[in-house]
Amino acid sequence: MGSLLIRGGRPLHGRLKVSGAKNAALPILAGTLLTPETTRIHNLPHLHDITTMMELLGCLGVGLTVDERLGIEVDGSSVTNVRAPYELVKTMRASILVLGPLLARFGEAEVSFPGGCAIGSRPVDLHLKGLEAMGADITIEEGYIKAKAPGGLRGADITLETVTVGGTENLLMAATLARGTTVLRNAAREPEVVDLAQFLIAMGAKISGQGSSTIEIEGVPALQGCDYTVMPDRIEAGTYLVAVAATGGKVRLEGVIPTHLAIVLDKLREAGADISIESDAIELDMTGRRPSAVAITTAPYPGFPTDMQAQFTALNTIAEGVGRVTETVFENRLIQTHEMNRMGADIQIEGNTAIVTGRPTLRGAPVMASDLRASASLVIAGLVASGETVVDRIYHIDRGYECIEEKLQSLGADIRRQTS
């Protein structure tokens, strides 16, 4: 189990290229199961979760060819198995996304209940209710979701009880091969959902309304292969912007879509950063300045992303003033604040709100990551702290950040990976 050793107190300066979005790449990889033809996916990030999804596809019989830049050619003609085993699914929640494609194409699927970060309850009941509305027969046996639709799925008008990104994606994929028209209401609007829809359209799907709360899908008899490039990772981009702002530095991020980060950029401006935007680049300058505290409340897109909450909590720990951070999406996602307090932060928890009183600095300490974004926030805290910080259990961070220590080193950070 590895750790990151950080010697803080250095402003970050330089430029970075943003990686492909994990949260777009995973459903797109699952979506390749919808066709027997060959698909080619580009701009995949080099991450553990991507490798796990590739292993899962391989377990199902999919032929995979990976090039030196982690582009992947997927041959869906050789699928021999519709069972996604616990051994793979337990490590990554996105594994549930193979359920809809397998059921739509083959009329059956068996998928273990998924795992992932310990940040609260993320039930899959909305996925299952939607598939049942489309004619699937679903049972739960020995920890497996067993779904059958021997006559194929049929279109349905589905209103999701709550906004769910994974549920929207699973039902969107399943509906592409269903007979008739499916309408998804109260659908997730995240850019990653739009990217998946654009991928499916490139395969021949008939989809409209993506990016709004109502998506309409007209089923087609079959989908074909295509070439597709995954969108850049807005959460990775936001994380590095916050890290640079917290350390009083300056950065240029390239290969990014600024509109995906509108509310994050607004909050960084509120914190005192100078920001300029180009069509595919963002420059942030906080040179020599201490950030001002900001208040955030997480919400589904286009609200403030829950995946950026922990990073802004870290920013607030060394900001001027008091910032209130309210988490409305996941109930356990303020857990990283206890580790930050070990570093000298002043954070009080009231229900689902963290009240953060900024300090001039933090002090290095050994800390332990509890989930992916908490890991990133503790790295940011280590970058601004005096002395040495050791972030343990960084397997979490490797699930969502490509080469994080190398990218931070390129910006001047004193950070290195330790193995034990």
Give the number of other CB atoms < 10 A from CB of residue 238: 27
DSSP for 333-375 reads TTTHHHHHHHTT-EEEEETTEEEEE--S--B--EEE--SHHHH
Question: What CA–CA distances, in Å, run from 41 to 63, 207, 228?
Answer: 13, 20, 5
Please report the pLDDT score of residue 336 as a whole number: 82
Quick: pLDDT tens for 173-195.
999 999 999 999 999 999 999 99
Q: Please confirm, yes or no, whether 117 is among the known catalytic residues.
A: yes
Please report the pLDDT score of residue 119 as a whole number: 33
pLDDT band at 1 (very low <50, low <70, confident <90, very high): low
Q: How far apart are CA 75 and CA 37, in angstroms?
A: 6
Residue 218 buriedness (CB in 10 A; 0-12 / 13-18 / 19+) = middle
Give the number of other CB atoms < 10 A from CB of residue 342: 16
Q: Which element (helix H / strand E) includes 377? A: helix 372-384
For the segment 37-65, the average pLDDT, to the nearest whole number, is 95
- The residue type at 3: S
| CA proximity to 324, closest of 286, 351, 296 | 296
Quick: pLDDT tens for 116-160.
433 344 468 899 999 999 999 999 888 889 999 999 999 999 999
Regarding beta strands 144-148 and 108-112, do their DSSP bridges make them parallel or antiparallel, or are they unpaired?
Answer: antiparallel
pLDDT at position 72 over 80: yes
Structure tokens at 172: 């969107």
For the segment 374-378, the average pLDDT, to the nearest whole number, is 92
Q: Which element (helix H / strand E) includes 417? A: strand 414-418
Give the rounded distance of the alpha carbon of 56 from its chain centre.
18
**Rounded percentage of the chain residues whose pLDDT exceeds 70:** 96
Quick: pLDDT tens for 104-119.
999 999 998 875 433 3
- Give rounded-to-5 percent helix, strand, coil for the chain: 35, 30, 35
Instruction: Locate all alpha helices (DSSP H) within 203-335, ordered by sequence.
Output: 234-247, 262-270, 309-317
- The residue type at 391: V
Q: How far apart are CA 33 and CA 170, in angstroms?
A: 12
Asked if the peptide bond before residue 302 counts as cis, ω within 30 degrees of 0, the response is: yes
Quick: pLDDT tens for 309-356.
999 999 999 999 999 999 987 666 687 899 999 999 999 999 999 999
Phi-psi map region of 116: left, alpha, beta (phi>0 left; psi -120 to 50 alpha): left
pLDDT at position 393 over 80: yes
Give the number of other CB atoms < 10 A from CB of residue 222: 13
Structure tokens at 49: 């979760």
Secondary structure (3-state) at 350: strand
With a CB cutoff of 8 Å and minimum separation 6, the contacts of 149 are 103, 107, 108, 131, 134, 135, 136, 137
pTM (two decimals): 0.94
Phi-psi map region of 61: left, alpha, beta (phi>0 left; psi -120 to 50 alpha): left
Give the number of other CB atoms < 10 A from CB of residue 69: 10
Please report the pLDDT score of residue 88 as a whole number: 84
pLDDT at position 68 over 90: no
Structure tokens at 93: 């929640």
pLDDT band at 14 (very low <50, low <70, confident <90, very high): very high
| CA proximity to 114, closest of 52, 187, 59 | 52
pLDDT at position 161 over 90: yes
Average pLDDT, whole number, for the chain? 94
For the segment 212-236, the average pLDDT, to the nearest whole number, is 98
Please report the pLDDT score of residue 118 as a whole number: 39
Choosing from 59, 117, 226, 403, the catalytic residue is 117
Quick: pLDDT tens for 34-46.
999 999 999 999 9
Please report the pLDDT score of residue 408 as a whole number: 98
